[in-house]
Structure 1
């Protein structure tokens, strides 16, 4: 595994600061309630249920709190009120009986044209008699929790949860709502509203009391408390339902209507919490849960079991713990980010997010704690991406300082890994060094020397870049610059004169810059090893320029150029010999060559002429 060098304390602080900012930003987005966050949190929440899937249904059922106290009586799709009254009487010894039924006023289902017909047949009178039979049975049993399930008639007319004479409400032990609300994001029922505001009956009722959910009322009766004592209306009104499994886990506690009357004695229901309702999947009362489709009756049973859990009801993880979890996960990623490559860190990030998913699921499965997954996961992703982008920008900036911004753009534009070699082009090579530098350096300390050299090279780079030159290499007091593209020779001469003039004004009087230029074909690209290379230019033109530089003292000019450079510069329409004041220094034989080269010298012109000469560049 490749290990990076030790980080400075400032970069450590920067990474930690970014992790903290990523955590706060993730928490801010979570508080805004974005849809993606809720979907991610719900999926992580459901992972707790997925842990139970390999278990046998009986093993899951045994985990159901007080499961032996819960019995489900399944009704057929159609049942008369007298038969239902007989069942209620049979369940009189149960601790509580919940009727998950829409006990609507059947007359409200009829249209105005149908009312006279049913009235003539005596059906309306019979319905009222049947309602009274059921109401009397409920009142006598004294343990019935009647469910409220508002609905709409086919014509859009509101169906009351009870008939016009509130027989069932008066006869029941308690009233409860059966409203099951699915999440808007994916349609799954994960929470149940414990309290529901009752519809206003009269305009005089300004603040009607809330109606408890059937699960809340059943637990209140089972524990001998009031619904307000089990869950106060002012507290959070939603319960995270801890589903213990699919509906198959209830098969040994489920009994059909006929068997409840014929095979179960009344004493068999003593002390039980009995839920009566339809479990037919063809009915409208079917909800989507993390365990799949489930009748609404089973949702209420699971909610009741959740409230009866000795561990207490599921609680949301506090905001401070969310911050601690998210910040801890982000800071944990800082260590590998500071020491390992980003490819390895990407793998570590994926594993850390998976571990967070498992932690969230375990909190729910083992400790009844509902924690958001989106906040720590987003904090980890933002930390990774933020540090990666910072390091990319830092590496690009550093590499640009080494090879030059122009060459860096060319390297990155290739798309693939850069290759050694280059392209052949005609360009102007520019070499510059300090005359008298060796003797002068003996009077300076190493620290003073490096400071002066950096100032010297900074001045040269600033000038040549203003003329379109590209620094290629630095060696001691020498600088190698390349001028490419149109007008390269004229721009090189202008830059050389500008460098000579500027250094004479800014540096020691006894230090003089010697500049040499030559124009010719060369290969411009990358030189070195495939794993260690640098930009460069190779060719006879480069060697000639470096040889010409050694003639500076001999010729007595600060700037020297070959005839090839001068003729190339003359092709520029804005350039004439009067611009440069070239002086022919004669034909010279350079070291390593047999042929002669015509050398021209350029005396620095006045400041105003230099400014005028370079103003259009």
Structure 2
């Protein structure tokens, strides 16, 4: 994660504006329709809104494959079916249907046929064939319950033949649909301008007649039907809401209804059609199929309605299809109007604002996180937003879905490009230039500040760590340059890994010596504890290297470590042209002296009293002595860390106790007792051997009365 500055915020806003403008622009308007398709599919999958077809105010009478395959229609031209159609429609009307709409157009009558038949045309011999049909149309039309359909076109209009138009007194409405640029039907026109006046589309006309209302234009400009202001994202259209994916529309087979007429089952027609809007249309596998918003989820050609006279044909279970019969598009439009359930889409301004806002959020995430992190944020927020959009779509409110998702994804790409080319250029330079010279914490500080390193320092409480290999010069003389380099690389790498894993910063290497500090540049309240723990680990690691690493074989390396805690100046120190992140103070000098003092006591690690005090009770210690080092007037109590508290061995505990007894006698001038106490453990402890020898010397030549128990170290 990186901090963002004002320039990054401006970049995120500009990127969001650009991405939002692109993905809501007219050339990509297809994305608006794709959002409807995805929402329809997700709602159908997740919500499964299966409404009872019996409650549908709209039903379909289907001239289907069964009709074409069943006598008396089998093998007969559709122009010869008109008498039977009239009889079925009459029974439907008597059954209480509110209104009947035609989604089929009979452009010609068999009476108009000019095919020769004997000494005259076939049409001449069939005069009067459509009489009963036309009478039925007139009777139903006179009751206000019939609307024929037509296709408006400048080039090839399709209208019912003239006798039908006369029979229904020109009650003919357009069946035209609104097709988007991707040839998908998602909206239905509300009206058409005919001879300079608006005429309702078929669906609006049927809904108006069923509700007893007349379409009007509301003050807002929306079409109003019985108090329902029809929402229109595209002017003069309504967005279709395929809530039941077509399964909520009962579908009657025409041939079964014709048999029902023959059976004179008026009760069936009353049960099936009372109070319903009826649409007559073809439902075939390869004719008048339409792609709609159900193309991704799959739509259904209605739900088979109860049968009256004929047994249901044996067939495979109905499967969803990407296309549906055109009559169900009109049936859905009528149902949406009657139930006030058309989809409300956001207008262009709100869609653009929402898309830009979403892209801005994701662009901001891309400026903070690495690309994979930004993609994870995008995925999570997109899933959450999609859930909100689906919930809104359940209530017929369509939020843009694809535009925000794609715009925000593009924003990630643009922001990553911006960071690579501009924003992170300095960061990459800093990391590449200083990775081998500065601690990662120092580099992170520079990156966060956005500034190049400069001269300057601050006072910090730190723990200094000095280590040096004992007698390494003489060992190095016996080795080839290659062997020496290999040995030193192995040793320094192992020690550095331990130091850095405990929060330390390696300031420099001086030959075989390591200078490190804890508590800077990264703040570490437990710097003393971590420094002591690192020293113990380094000591154990060297023993492992001596035992297992071939480069160390036969050398028996040992080191000395000095630790001291206190105030120090840390920062970029040097000349204006060249400087290092380092540390300066008396704290540093004392740690260096303690590293050298180990050789007097035969110890591997020596820490000052301040370091010991800052570790609390984390370790088991033994006090070694009070010393005065070169260049410092004050005496310092020095300690040796033995192990983590509770992890010391019995030998270490006994040795520390015996040593403490001897030291107490030493400081109280009881040199004989001190010599005896130290002598008992001197063979296994060099520090005790040192004190035993000094006690014996004072027994022979007692010190003056003003003697203080401080060991003055003359060398480093």
Q: Report the TM range for the smaller structure's normalisation.
A: 0.5 to 0.7
Tell me the equivalent position of 2:345: 316
Secondary structure in structure 2 of the residue aligned to 1:391: helix
Return closer, same or farther for 1:178/1:242 CA change in 2, 3 Å cut-off. Answer: same
What residue in structure 2 maps to residue 25 of structure 1?
A: 18
1:238 matched residue in structure 2: 237
What's the CA shift for 1:107? Answer: 6.8
State the partner residue of 1:191.
187
1:214 equivalent in structure 2? 202
2 CA distance for matches of 1:113 and 1:316?
53
Cα deviation, residue 222, structure 1: 1.8
Is 1:42 the counterpart of 2:71 in the alignment?
Answer: no
The change in CA–CA distance for 1:104 and 1:404 in structure 2 (over 3 A counts) is: same
Q: Which residue of 1 aligns with 2:160?
A: 162
Q: Structure 1 residues 376, 158: closer, same or farther in 2, change over 3 A?
A: closer
Quick one: distance in 2 between partners of 1:115 and 1:357? 66
Query: Cα RMSD (Å) of the superposition?
Result: 4.6
1:97 corresponds in structure 2 to: 100
Q: 1:178 aligns with which of 170, 175, 178?
A: 175
Residue matched to 2:51: 61
Q: Report the equivalent of 1:145.
A: 147
Higher relative contact order (CA 8 A, sep 6+): 1
**How far apart are residue 44 of structure 1 and its match?**
5.4
Residue 97 of structure 2 aligns to a residue whose secondary structure is coil
2:418 to 377, 380, 390: 390
Moved more, 250-259 or 131-140: 250-259
Alpha-carbon distance, 1:253 to partner: 7.1
Q: Which residue of 2 aligns with 1:432?
A: none
Distance 1:151 1:400 in 2: 67
Q: What TM-score, normalized to structure 2?
A: 0.47
- TM-score, scaled to structure 1: 0.54
Q: What SS does structure 2 have at the residue aligned with 1:162?
A: coil
Range 247-256 or range 143-152, more displaced? 247-256
Task: Note if contact 2:362-2:412 (Cα within 8 Å) is conserved in structure 1.
Answer: yes
Q: Secondary structure at the match of 1:80?
A: helix
Consecutive unaligned residues in structure 2, runs of 5 or more: 69-77, 225-229, 300-320, 437-452, 457-491, 502-716
- Does the Cα contact within 8 Å between 1:146 and 1:169 map onto a contact in 2? no
Alignment partners' CA distance in 1, 2:23 and 2:111? 46
Say whether residues 1:258 and 2:258 are aligned partners: yes
Q: Structure 1: state its 5+ residue gaps.
A: 199-206, 409-448, 453-526, 533-617
Q: Is residue 360 of structure 1 aligned with residue 389 of structure 2? A: yes
Secondary structure of 1:258's counterpart equals helix
Cα offset, 1:254, TM superposition: 7.1
- Does structure 2 conserve the Cα–Cα contact (< 8 Å) formed by 1:85 and 1:134? yes
Bigger CA drift: 129-138 or 93-102?
Answer: 129-138
Aligned residues: 396
Distance (Å, rounded) in 2 between the aligned partners of 1:250 and 1:222: 17
Question: Residue 280 of structure 1: which of 274, 284, 291 is its match?
Answer: 284
- What is the SS of the residue equivalent to 2:243? coil
**Is contact 1:23-1:323 (8 Å) kept?**
no
CA offset digits 1:193-250 (Å, max 9, x no partner): 222344xxxxxxxx43344222111111122211335963997222211113344443
CA apart distance, 1:285: 5.0
Mapped to 2, the partners of 1:324 and 1:160 lie a distance apart of 43
Contact kept, 8 Å, 1:102 with 1:148, in 2: the verdict is: yes
Q: Does 1:270 align with 2:274?
A: yes
CA distance in 2 between counterparts of 1:150 and 1:106 reads 20
Q: Matched residues in 2 for 1:147 and 1:381: separation?
A: 46
CA 1:246–1:451 in 2, change beyond 3 Å: closer, same or farther?
closer
Aligned CA distance change for structure 1 residues 260 and 356 (closer, same or farther; 3 Å): farther
Larger Rg: 2
Deviation at 1:379, TM superposition (A): 3.4
CA 1:103–1:83 in structure 2 vs 1: closer, same or farther (change >3 Å)?
same
Alignment check: 8 A CA contact 2:12 2:364 kept: no
1:333 aligns with 2:362: yes
After superposition, where does 1:127-138 map in structure 2 within 5 Å? 127=129, 129=131, 132-138=134-140
Task: Specify whether residues 450 and 158 from structure 1 end up closer, same or farther in structure 2 by C-alpha distance, changes over 3 A only.
Answer: closer
The CA deviation at 1:47 is 3.1
User: Using a 3 Å threshold, how does the CA distance of structure 1 residues 388 and 126 change in structure 2: closer, same or farther?
Assistant: same
Q: Relative to structure 1, is the Cα distance of residues 38 and 109 closer, same or farther in structure 2, using a 3 angstrom cutoff?
A: farther
- For the residues of structure 2 that align with 1:159 and 1:127, how far apart are their CA atoms? 25
Q: Output aligned runs, 1:595-610, within 5 Å.
A: none
Tell me the CA shift for residue 42 of structure 1: 1.1
